[in-house]
Structure 1
Amino acid sequence: MEHSNEDTLKTAMLVVAISGLGVGLAFYLTAQSDLARTIWLVGVVPVLAVLLVEILRSLWRGEVGLDIVAALSMSAALAFGETLAAAVVAVMYSGGTFLESFAEGRARSEMHDLLSRVPRKATKHRDGALVDLPLDDILPGDRLLIRQGDVVPVDGTIASKLAFLDTSALTGESLPVRTEAGGEALSGSTNAGEAFDLIAARPAKDSTYAGIVRLVEEAQKSKAPMSRLADRWSLGFLAATVGLAFAAWWFTNDPIRAVAVLVVATPCPLILAVPVALVAGLSRAAHFGVLIKGAGPLEAMAHVRTLILDKTGTLTDGRPHLVSIDSHSGIEEGEILRLGAALDQASKHPVAQAIVAAAKARGLPLPVPSEVTEMPGEGLTGIVDGRAVIIGGHRFVTDRIGQMGTEHPEIGAGSVMAAVGVDGQLAGHLIMADRLREETHSMLSGLRKQGIERILLATGDRREVAERVTEHLGLDGIRAGLTPDQKVLLVLTEHKRGPVMMVGDGVNDAPALAAADIGIAMGARGAAASAEAADVVLLVDRIDRLEPGIEIARAARRIALESVVAGIGLSVLGMVAAALGLLSPVQGALLQEAIDVAVILNALRALRISPALGLSPTSSVMETSLTGVHPK
């Protein structure tokens, strides 16, 4: 609401300033100069009042900005009767603040997904019936029903025989976890199997997911906003401007020369060039599927030297893929996959769905199974094309076909295996794993060329899994088994070396994304919490979009700097001319307008930035539409 009010005020300022200047000029051209000056005055005063209030607020915060020059030029122009010059400066200033506001809000949308994902109610067993209660009414020891697809509302222990939990949002583990009676279930995980009962271990406010929400809020509060590029030069430019204006007045005894100097010095090249170039950069980045939430994050991307990457869903696809088929009993590999996938069509299990997807990708026909029985978290049995098929864990299958003790192939860390039995025989095994993204190697190489000096992996997964997946990536370090708060600590530790960029996709990454100088979320399939906390969202499910995103950010910042240097250089020449009496206040204001136009045209070159990676905006937009993810 606060940002909305500020945007409305800045829009109103621009409308008032433009209206005052335009209407006043109309009366001036009809020889009604007194009325014109009154209208110009009416158009300037509201803008000047808002500006003075903002300057007082900035001084209260200990900040000194170039807005002071704009206030001085308008005030001096009004004081010495140069109302037209004051009106022109008012339009320049209000236009600059409007564009800056637009830059900050260009790509930012109201994302409340983190908080909206927190369950508001829980289903409790009471006197043989089920009742829905507010989450705050749940006490330790309460028995809750967690339906399939539900987010676990509080930390607790499994009271049913078996539960199948998707903990990827909390731990980064891509494969669902089988948890037996008495095992722990963390709030924020999702029930990926059949409904189960949970005994609450602690109140909702003390549970894991609530802690993650608090971490995000605290990290966001601790991250100071980027200061405007213009303000970094404010003190020196302000001192030079006031000094030159005072000297012109002192040595010539002509206050109009001081007014002319102040008008020419109004730092609109600084106020305008930076937001225009950065807005253009924001727009250009969006063409390539990189949604940057404001001009500040885009500028910060240009300074990043350290990159911290999550594993699951970031470096890897975050989904199990079929990597090999181990055949027994002389049955062809394709037939093993076809029969197993046909039966798995009856299951919502993530591994089962991955097996079905692998079969369809190979063009295998999948008949409809019959007489299907599923043991949640264990496996399925049924009839496929008249053959008795069973698929599930190795022990589940061998126990039911009477081949207990049968050896199974060795699988690597982070992999999962499904056994397939056909007509009472062990037909083979399907080996699944979360694969490294194809574009990862080239992406990391490109980021090194972009100036990223240090690349680390931060994951909640086991170390052996992380090391296997990233074996040949040439990372500068691996941090495994991290909790959300440990990821935040890693970000803060690395910050001592310089600006840090964090990339992740799960709820467990959200606090670290918020704590980093730049947080980047995989928005196409990542958790809503990470998109909420991040400064940048990759709208397409391709991590290699990082490289063009950084390239565009650096190019946009470079164009902004070029515009600033050229604009300020021309302004300084104009100030000297004004001090020598070669420019009147109105002429100085018009000169400054010409400089502004040149600066804006140069800044708009950022719209034509072409990343060297060779990606086309058209293809990125097409991919975005296919993912179904669009800026809100």
Structure 2
Amino acid sequence: MIGVIPILAALLVEILRSLARGEVGLDIVAALSMTAALVFGETLAAAVVAVMYSGGTFLESFAEGRARREMRDLLSRVPRTATRHRDGRLEDVPLDEIAPGDRLLIRQGDIVPVDGTVEFLSAFLDTSALTGESLPIKLTAGAEAMSGSTNAGDAFNLVATREAHDSTYAGIVRLVEQAQSSKAPMSRLADRWSLGFLLVTVGIAFAAWWFTNDPIRAVAVLVVATPCPLILAVPVALVAGLSRAAHFGVLIKGAGPLEAMARARTLILDKTGTLTDGRPQIVSIDTHDGIETDELLRLAAALDQATKHPVAQAIVAGAQERGLTLPVPQEVRETPGEGLTGIVEGRRVIVGGHGFVVGQVDAAAVDHPALSAGSVLVAVGIDGKLAGHMVMADPLRDGTHDMLSGLRRQGVDRILLATGDRHEVAERVTAGLGLDGIRAGLTPDQKVLLVLSERKRGPVMMVGDGVNDAPALAAADIGVAMGARGAAASAEAADVVLLVDRVDRLGPGVEIARGARRIALESVVAGIGLSVMGMIAAAFGYLTPVQGALIQEAIDIAVILNALRALRIQPAETGPMHLTDGALVTRKGIKT
């Protein structure tokens, strides 16, 4: 009795809170069985019920808390301080101290802390987290820079035009908070049958007492009816699904998001960093005057080692992938926003925009190749002549088509693209994917409106990676963030985070979620069926309360073992993968 009363008291408090919210759960059956067993002296039966109930509650809360703790350190993108010019020196100050008119130093790699204008010269900003534009943009003196952008070029000075709380980035964060607060919490899967099961239980118990005038039979019915298969087996199946999904690099933040993921019927995808890699790559190389392709790439990449510009780094990466040896450049001079000049192995090399290179070499009769939407042209000059061009673009990720086809087979019947990029770029990149619609040129709040409008058709799953996606991720029934390289704000707003930089992980994640939910439903049906049979036996006097509790334990073991089958779900889309020391290792041992 000493062990049961504290649990019963806590349970009654929780029931009152649920009723105040208008929710009727199966916890009422557990409270009735413990109370009846105590009143009529069946304390052992009451203790068994109390142990089973408290164990199930702890298991569910532990799984939810653990999933949330894994995400606490992901919100790292928000700048906390800024470097300000003051009286001829630099000082680091909190964002709240920045006022309009302050001059700030934005170093390479820094995130612009407040909205402002570029002072002098120019700046190169990576705005993909805000606008979805994959390639950096050049801002001239006096142009406005949005907070949340990343400095992809040399350090520059920014004149603040707004305080931090009024800036673009802060507004996006507020959108996330509003969307999160407007999303109703998901009820537990077992509670959907609670009212009917409660009425059946009370009806059988009352009938057994009424017709036999034996209250112990009613106690036995309530003990057998205590929905431990529902309280325990459902969380076990869903938590097993969470564990299995993490095995494939998909972190789902709790049982509720996993169930929502299993019910999704509409999928909305961001483009840059989600369907595409988010980093420019070499699409083609055209050479002139007989120079070899690898030689052109080698000389250009060698010179580009001297800058951190994203396009230059992509050229260096392309050369390294081909196994080319890159010498150290000499006498390098960089013209911000235009290109580089220098000496590589005694040869004068120029790499940059077509106009920049043509202005310094003999290229009167050479035309540059035509560009498709979303591509960037890089020219290369060697020893005073135009040696060739490289076309850079942000290509579609490998396996995207197969992943989308697999999701359609699993029940996702509507797939849309939502991007801040231009429509012609989005159309070119997604050609052949069979999307049901393309929504281009969207701002963060327009993405939220798209999600809300699509929710009328059924549960919506949104996938994105940038800060501009965070409000839509929070507004969707299930938000999925690219957590390996995406913005931490989107990872915090999302319900699911792909721990590896591969959107094709979404397929196994959805398949595991559906499998775990199916197994949970099987456990519910089996548990209720066996419990009803046990209640009928108890009503006819074939079971004492203690025997009923022991039979209920046997039912629990059976449905929990069934629930653990979720740990063996094997997605058809891909083989198992393990996260080991930050690397992703396949069954064959290949690291990616």
Summarize deviations over 1:8-44 as a string: whole Å, max 9, x none.
Answer: xxxxxxxxxxxxxxxxxxxxxxxxxxxxxxxxx1110
123-132 vs 208-217, greater mean Cα deviation: 123-132
Summarize deviations over 1:498-539 as a string: whole Å, max 9, x none.
Answer: 000001111111111111111111122212122111111112
Please report how far the alpha carbon of residue 404 of structure 1 lies from its aligned counterpart in structure 2 after TM superposition: 7.3
Summarize deviations over 1:152-195 as a string: whole Å, max 9, x none.
Answer: 01111111211000111111111111111121100000111111
CA 1:623 to 1:459, structure 2 compared with 1: closer, same or farther past 3 Å? Answer: farther
Indicate if the aligned counterparts of 1:103 and 1:278 stay in contact, CA closer than 8 A: no
- Aligned partners of 1:59, 1:365: CA distance in 2, in Å? 71
1:340 is aligned to 300
1:77 is aligned to 37
Please report how far the alpha carbon of residue 76 of structure 1 lies from its aligned counterpart in structure 2 after TM superposition: 0.6
2:575 is aligned to 616
2:471 is aligned to 511
Residue 556 of structure 1 aligns with an amino acid whose one-letter code is: A
Summarize deviations over 1:373-431 as a string: whole Å, max 9, x none.
Answer: 11222211111010011111111112223657963221111111111111111111111
Please report how far the alpha carbon of residue 239 of structure 1 lies from its aligned counterpart in structure 2 after TM superposition: 1.1
Structure 2 residue 527 is matched with structure 1 residue 596:
no
1:190 is aligned to 150
1:545 is aligned to 505
Structure 2 residue 437 is matched with structure 1 residue 477:
yes
Please report how far the alpha carbon of residue 245 of structure 1 lies from its aligned counterpart in structure 2 after TM superposition: 1.0
Indicate if the aligned counterparts of 2:578 and 2:584 stay in contact, CA closer than 8 A: no
Indicate if the aligned counterparts of 1:540 and 1:623 stay in contact, CA closer than 8 A: no
Indicate if the aligned counterparts of 1:462 and 1:480 stay in contact, CA closer than 8 A: yes
2:589 is aligned to none
1:564 to 499, 521, 524: 524
CA 1:173 to 1:131, structure 2 compared with 1: closer, same or farther past 3 Å? Answer: same
2:588 is aligned to none
Please report how far the alpha carbon of residue 196 of structure 1 lies from its aligned counterpart in structure 2 after TM superposition: 0.9
SS in 2 for 1:435: coil
Summarize deviations over 1:288-333 as a string: whole Å, max 9, x none.
Answer: 1111111111111111100000001111111111111121233222
Indicate if the aligned counterparts of 2:415 and 2:435 stay in contact, CA closer than 8 A: yes
Residue 513 of structure 1 aligns with an amino acid whose one-letter code is: L
Structure 2 residue 330 is matched with structure 1 residue 377:
no
SS in 2 for 1:430: strand
2:566 is aligned to 606
- Aligned partners of 2:59, 2:251: CA distance in 1, in Å? 19
1:97 is aligned to 57
1:273 is aligned to 233
1:583 is aligned to 543
- Aligned partners of 1:196, 1:269: CA distance in 2, in Å? 63
- Aligned partners of 1:110, 1:606: CA distance in 2, in Å? 22
Residue 333 of structure 1 aligns with an amino acid whose one-letter code is: T
Please report how far the alpha carbon of residue 113 of structure 1 lies from its aligned counterpart in structure 2 after TM superposition: 5.5
CA 1:547 to 1:110, structure 2 compared with 1: closer, same or farther past 3 Å? Answer: closer
Residue 79 of structure 1 aligns with an amino acid whose one-letter code is: V
Indicate if the aligned counterparts of 1:291 and 1:539 stay in contact, CA closer than 8 A: yes
1:525 is aligned to 485
- Aligned partners of 1:257, 1:283: CA distance in 2, in Å? 41
Q: How does 1:49-448 map to 2 (within 5 A)?
A: 49-112=9-72, 116-401=76-361, 403=363, 407-448=367-408
125-134 vs 389-398, greater mean Cα deviation: 125-134
Summarize deviations over 1:527-575 as a string: whole Å, max 9, x none.
Answer: 2122111111112222112111111111111111111111111111111
Please report how far the alpha carbon of residue 468 of structure 1 lies from its aligned counterpart in structure 2 after TM superposition: 0.6
* Aligned residues: CA RMSD: 1.6
Indicate if the aligned counterparts of 2:304 and 2:313 stay in contact, CA closer than 8 A: yes
- Aligned partners of 2:517, 2:369: CA distance in 1, in Å? 54
Residue 596 of structure 1 aligns with an amino acid whose one-letter code is: D
Residue 575 of structure 2 aligns with an amino acid whose one-letter code is: S
Residue 478 of structure 1 aligns with an amino acid whose one-letter code is: I
Q: Which has the higher helix share?
A: 1
Residue 121 of structure 1 aligns with an amino acid whose one-letter code is: T
- Aligned partners of 1:159, 1:110: CA distance in 2, in Å? 41
- Aligned partners of 1:481, 1:513: CA distance in 2, in Å? 18
SS in 2 for 1:261: helix
CA 1:453 to 1:272, structure 2 compared with 1: closer, same or farther past 3 Å? Answer: same
SS in 2 for 1:169: helix
Please report how far the alpha carbon of residue 218 of structure 1 lies from its aligned counterpart in structure 2 after TM superposition: 1.0
Please report how far the alpha carbon of residue 120 of structure 1 lies from its aligned counterpart in structure 2 after TM superposition: 2.2
- Aligned partners of 1:97, 1:113: CA distance in 2, in Å? 27
Summarize deviations over 1:435-466 as a string: whole Å, max 9, x none.
Answer: 10120111111111111100000011111110
1:42 is aligned to 2
Residue 469 of structure 2 aligns with an amino acid whose one-letter code is: D
Summarize deviations over 1:34-89 as a string: whole Å, max 9, x none.
Answer: xxxxxxx1110111111011111111111111100100100110011110010011
Summarize deviations over 1:90-149 as a string: whole Å, max 9, x none.
Answer: 011111112222332343325346754222222222333333332222222222221111
Pairs aligned (count): 585
- Aligned partners of 1:194, 1:459: CA distance in 2, in Å? 28
- Identity rate, percent: 80
Indicate if the aligned counterparts of 1:70 and 1:266 stay in contact, CA closer than 8 A: yes
SS in 2 for 1:122: strand
SS in 2 for 1:368: coil
Indicate if the aligned counterparts of 1:398 and 1:406 stay in contact, CA closer than 8 A: no
Residue 621 of structure 1 aligns with an amino acid whose one-letter code is: L
- Aligned partners of 2:484, 2:138: CA distance in 1, in Å? 27
Indicate if the aligned counterparts of 1:395 and 1:404 stay in contact, CA closer than 8 A: no
1:625 to 568, 583, 588: 583
1:32 is aligned to none
Residue 284 of structure 1 aligns with an amino acid whose one-letter code is: R
Indicate if the aligned counterparts of 1:140 and 1:202 stay in contact, CA closer than 8 A: yes
CA 1:535 to 1:452, structure 2 compared with 1: closer, same or farther past 3 Å? Answer: same
Indicate if the aligned counterparts of 1:106 and 1:279 stay in contact, CA closer than 8 A: no
Indicate if the aligned counterparts of 1:114 and 1:213 stay in contact, CA closer than 8 A: no
Summarize deviations over 1:220-255 as a string: whole Å, max 9, x none.
Answer: 111112101111111111111111111111111111
Residue 261 of structure 2 aligns with an amino acid whose one-letter code is: M
Please report how far the alpha carbon of residue 203 of structure 1 lies from its aligned counterpart in structure 2 after TM superposition: 1.3
- Aligned partners of 1:416, 1:623: CA distance in 2, in Å? 36
